[in-house]
Amino acid sequence: MKKLKSICVIMALACMTTAWAQRDITFDRELSVGVKGGVTIPNMAFSPSIQQNTWVGYTTGLTFRYIEENIFGLIAELNFTQRGWDEKFEKDPYHYRHTLDYIEIPFLAHIYFGSDVVRGFVNIGPQIGILYHDNAKADFDINNLPTFNGENRINEVYTLPIANRFDYGITGGVGVELRLKRHIILLEGRYYFGLGDIYGNRKADIFSGSSANRGFMINLAYMFRIW
């Protein structure tokens, strides 16, 4: 798992570095800033696994984009994003959701194609995040658990404290943008593959295999071209 994490980070950085080295210095560059917002469809990669329901969170933030050459640019963002998990109880009428609120900073290579009015694009690169708040909601007493039906339940998760508030991973997405002079409207679908674990991952820990963030995002953004 550690080798996979290293490979993913190196590949993302290599893509950005290669594209930057091949830039066209004669291109008419542009700088844009904007705001964005949308929804997340998060889940957690737990090992041993926990069954989860699909649920919807939020994301909002600021975005900065520098177009360096024809088809290529760089993006930096500052986002507030809701992640976490909603546990599935197939044979019981219970509900448990643990939300994780992050400040996230992705650094992305931006590859685009199309006309001066409508463009498609691909974004990919590394992302870091800091967990600034988490909240668990349950309709049962987590300190005096009922008897759950079903097999392989991990009851320790309800009282297990977050061990790692720093998160990192790889994110990538595809989208389309509409350009009206200096005004730009974008719609993007993105996926985040977290490489850090929120709980301890030593052999003696409960989630020794993985406890990493995953999830899809759908964002709508408005950007203004400064120059």
Rounded distance, CA 18 to CA 184, Å? 27
Q: What is the pLDDT of residue 78?
A: 99
Residue 41 parent element (H or E): strand 30-47
Provide the mean pLDDT of the chain: 92
**Confidence band, pLDDT 50/70/90 cuts, at residue 21:** low
Q: Which residue has the tokens 């290599």?
A: 14
Rounded distance, CA 1 to CA 8, Å? 11
Q: Given phi > 0 = left and psi -120 to 50 = alpha, else beta, which region is 128?
A: beta
| DSSP label at residue 162 | P
Rounded distance, CA 182 to CA 227, Å? 8
- Tens-place pLDDT, residues 157-210: 999 999 999 999 999 999 999 999 999 999 999 999 999 999 999 999 999 999
Q: Among 14, 88, 59, which Cα is nearest to 188's?
A: 59
Q: What is the pLDDT of residue 131?
A: 99
- Tens-place pLDDT, residues 82-124: 999 999 998 899 999 999 999 999 999 999 999 999 999 999 9
Q: Report whether pLDDT(69) > 60.
A: yes
Q: What is the pLDDT of residue 172?
A: 98
Q: Report, as an integer, the average pLDDT of 14-38.
A: 73
Q: What is the pLDDT of residue 2?
A: 54
What's this model's pTM, rounded to 2 decimal places? 0.87
**Confidence band, pLDDT 50/70/90 cuts, at residue 16:** low
Q: What is the pLDDT of residue 68?
A: 86
- Listed by start position, the domains of the chain span 2-225
- Quote the distance between the C-alpha of residue 169 and its chain's center: 8
Q: Specify the range with the lowest mean pLDDT, choosing from 14-28, 59-73, 133-147, 155-169.
A: 14-28
CATH 3.40.50.460 holds for 2-225: no
Which ranges of 34-147 would DSSP assign to H, the alpha helix? none
Give Cα separations from 160 to 139, 204, 208 (angstroms): 17, 14, 13
Q: Report whether pLDDT(24) > 60.
A: no
